[in-house]
Structure 1
Amino acid sequence: MIVIGLGSGRTGTASLARLIGSQHAAICFHELNPTGAVFTDNPQPLLNAIHEFQAILQGGDRRLLSLDYSRPPSVATYRELQLLPAIRIIGDIAYYYLRYVDDILAVTDAVRFVCIKRDKEATVASWIRKAAIHRWPSLWIADRFKALITRTPFYTSRNFWQDHDGSIYQPDPVWDKTFPKFPARSMPEAIGRYWDYYYAECDRLSARHPREFRIFPITAMSSRQGQTEILRYLGIRDEDMVLRETYHLHQSPGSE
């Protein structure tokens, strides 16, 4: 079984990766290779991952997996993969798979999509905190002074959801391309439109592919019943499940 996790981001997807990866003979990445991903128009980097997952499940060389080596969590999970005695479930969790669900299903139906949904207002607030560029007070002063001298922008935030020229928001060559862009009067409004778009598309996909695509509330990650429902959907027997009382990893204000 291949598992692909989705959600708008700030929805406990790292926790979902840990929950799935904790099961017997299972391994699950969290944003395996964002460097190669774009939100639309080119499914090939993500399809490459699906083909590589298929080969590993069939007993192929586990070293042959495209990953972003600049991401320590991906490297750590990759190393764990090499040591497991058997693999029955393998997956990746990332919001940017959304536009390629049909492309993936055209390759294999041995895949399940688990989508985590969080309240819109909470998601927007969390993304604003996550997008902010945090500095120690002394560094804030130094960077501000440097920007004044060099006449370069002093960035306080990134903005993945709107097209911009880099004069106000800090460009991010990895993550900017993995989000759709929306016309809006402000970044919070753009994030809200992103949330609307994302879950409207999820609703469409779950209606079109009820066996392969299912949406769960974020609260499912924090209860044994919710975790059980997710794992049953993945075909894991109750007696084989590894559950936790609380499994939401990110609790700090800047990361959820």
Structure 2
Amino acid sequence: MQAASDSQPAVPEQSPIIIGLGTGRCGTHSLVDLLNAQHQVRVTHEPRPILNWNPQAETHDVVARFQRRSKRHAGSITGEVAQYLLLYVPRLLDELPQAKAVVLKRPREQVARSYMRWIEKAYRDKRVDHWLEGATAQPHLWDSAYPRFEAADTFEAICKYWDWYYEHVEALVDAYPHRVRVWSTESALNDPQIQQQVLEWLGVREPQWRRVWSSATTPKIDAHVNGSPSYTFCIKTFEREPALWRCLTSIRRYVPHVPVVICDDSARPYAPRLAHEFSDLSIKVLTPGFDVGLSRGRNLAVEAVDTEFICQLDDDNFIVDETDIDGMLRVLVENGYDIVTGRFLESDGSIKGWEARFHIIDTVFYAQPSPPEKPIWPTNMGMNFLVARKSTLKQYPYCEQIKIGREHVDFYLSVFRAGGRVACYAPSLVGHCHMRLGRQYVSMRHGRDSDFDEIFMDRHGLSHAIMPLGHVICHMKNFKPLRPQNVAPSTFQQTKA
């Protein structure tokens, strides 16, 4: 490797550029979350096109890609974080004098085990192997991003990949001692002092600390602790008895052991009657009075929960075969997220999400749609179908001044501004089917939106807000219309979402 003439630290003439490295499964996505939480930093994680691990086999001009991003976001720190950039670093550092490379290093065995778990979760019935030479596997988009190794099995091949990777990293440190630095994942992402050192070295002004990585020793969640469920369903309902009946029917079918808290602020509350009908379930009913609002109702339901974790549902949601709440809880605990959301499976077979990335420039708020590209997808906003600790939902309560409408984005924006971490667990779907509703309900739900918009804007000091509607991600194949068992067709009517 050719050494660079950088015996003295270079003073960048332009905005700094960050090259983020690591083997993968070592916290690089969390590093991006940390960087993008800082002032005027715009860093991407594994942007397309995916580069070949071998620069000689790649036709894409990686230097031009970095330069375009830096020019597009002039005045901001920019960069990319991806494991496949390793062998591109010498050219990047030679041609971009303002660039530095930060490397995360997670223990070898932990990386290998994490990759093996990822293969199992992400690809399930597909045979995918990026590392083992001669492996009988299906071709995959990411195959070219990794070198292959002779080994007894995939686990050993990943370990050899780890060894190969950090041998090259050591050579980079020797060649560019002032522009390439290595930190352990645990220290860089969890230790406030080390994190500040990393950010200052990368040129971040006024670094803001965030805990963005869960330790490998974080205890795994058990969905049932000492025989008792560790989570509770929280459901807010208003003038939609058939919807709530359908929701409870699905809970009885799939997870009858999980307790339920229902807050019903209808003119004539029906939840007490349904709780009696579903007496085989553990249901606690709150009736706070007429039209206290969605936000207050959700906050009251959270207060009434006795378990550590909560799964929030709307009354027009219902559990289906694709609902994986235990999986959402594992993602929450093992990855250190504050909130994990799922997606909606609509009555027509479409899968819908509200995933978005937030940006605030001066007083303008942008919510940029960001549909999941991976099973676990960091985001800033998701659906109302979510899991979280009770303590988290008490820390980030819904704004009770916003009774309905903007309460959704206000909640997620409050979490975002406080440094909370949100992810979408894409494989977990919950059924969603709108009801035909009377004029009174519609007028009460939407008639005061402009008032709540004003409260939302004032709360966050915004002059403009550009926000998406829910986006349809795909349609399920061989889909059969959603209808829980034992629901009489006359009980409710369905309309398209």
**TM-score higher than 0.5 here?**
yes
Give the distance between the partners of 2:144 and 2:130, measured in 1 at CA. Answer: 8
Distance 1:128 1:88 in 2: 37
Q: 1:43 to 1:247 in 2, by over 3 A?
A: farther
Q: Output aligned runs, 1:71-220, within 5 Å.
A: 87-132=75-120, 155-164=125-134, 168-172=136-140, 174-219=141-186, 220=188
Partner of 2:207: 241
**Cα displacement (A) at 1:36:** 4.1
Structure 2 CA distance for aligned equivalents of residues 36 and 196 of structure 1: 22
Q: What's the Cα RMSD here?
A: 2.4
Distance change (3 Å), C-alpha of 1:14 and 1:209: same
Amino acid at match of 1:161: W
Partner of 2:37: 22
Q: Which runs of 5+ in 2 are unaligned?
A: 1-15, 215-330, 337-374, 378-497
Moved over 4 A (4+): 252-256
1:49 shift after superposition: 1.3
Distance 1:198 1:229 in 2: 24
Task: Indicate if the aligned counterparts of 1:118 and 1:217 stay in contact, CA closer than 8 A.
Answer: yes
The amino acid across from 2:183 in the alignment is F
Deviation of 1:119 (Å): 0.3
Query: Residues 252 and 21 from structure 1, CA distance in 2 versus in 1: closer, same or farther, beyond 3 angstroms?
Result: closer
SS in 1 for 2:33: helix
1:180-237 CA distance string (max 9 Å, x none): 1111111011001000000111011011101111100011211212211111211234
Higher helix content, 1 or 2? 1
| Higher strand content, 1 or 2 | 2
What amino acid is aligned across from residue 52 of structure 2 in structure 1? Answer: V
- Please say if residues 184 and 190 of structure 1, whose CA atoms lie closer than 8 Å, have aligned partners that are also in contact: yes
**1:9 matches 2:24:** yes
Q: Secondary structure at the match of 1:132?
A: helix
Deviation at 1:32, TM superposition (A): 1.2
Q: Hey, what's the Cα distance between the residues in 2 that align with 1:170 and 1:113?
A: 33
Measured in 2, the distance between the counterparts of 1:51 and 1:235 equals: 17
Residues 12 and 226 from structure 1, CA distance in 2 versus in 1: closer, same or farther, beyond 3 angstroms? same
Give the paired residue count: 203
Structure with larger RCO (C-alpha < 8 A, sep 6+): 1
- Taking only the aligned residue pairs, the percentage that are identical comes to 28
Residues 179 and 90 (structure 1 numbering): CA distance in 2 closer, same or farther, change over 3 Å?
same
C-alpha displacement at 1:5, in angstroms? 0.4
> Structure 2-normalised TM-score?
0.38
Unaligned runs of 5+ in 1: 60-86, 141-154
CA distance in 1, matches of 2:71, 2:47: 17
Deviation at 1:255, TM superposition (A): 6.5
1:84 aligns to what? none
The corresponding residue for 1:77 is none
What is the rounded CA distance, in whole Å, between the counterparts of 1:223 and 1:255 in structure 2? Answer: 24
Residue of structure 2 in register with 1:227 after alignment: 195
Q: Deviations over 1:110-151 (max 9, x none)?
A: 00111000000101100111122568xxxx8xxxxxxxxxxx
Question: Per the alignment, in what secondary structure is the counterpart of residue 158 of structure 2?
Answer: helix
Q: CA deviation at 1:157?
A: 3.8
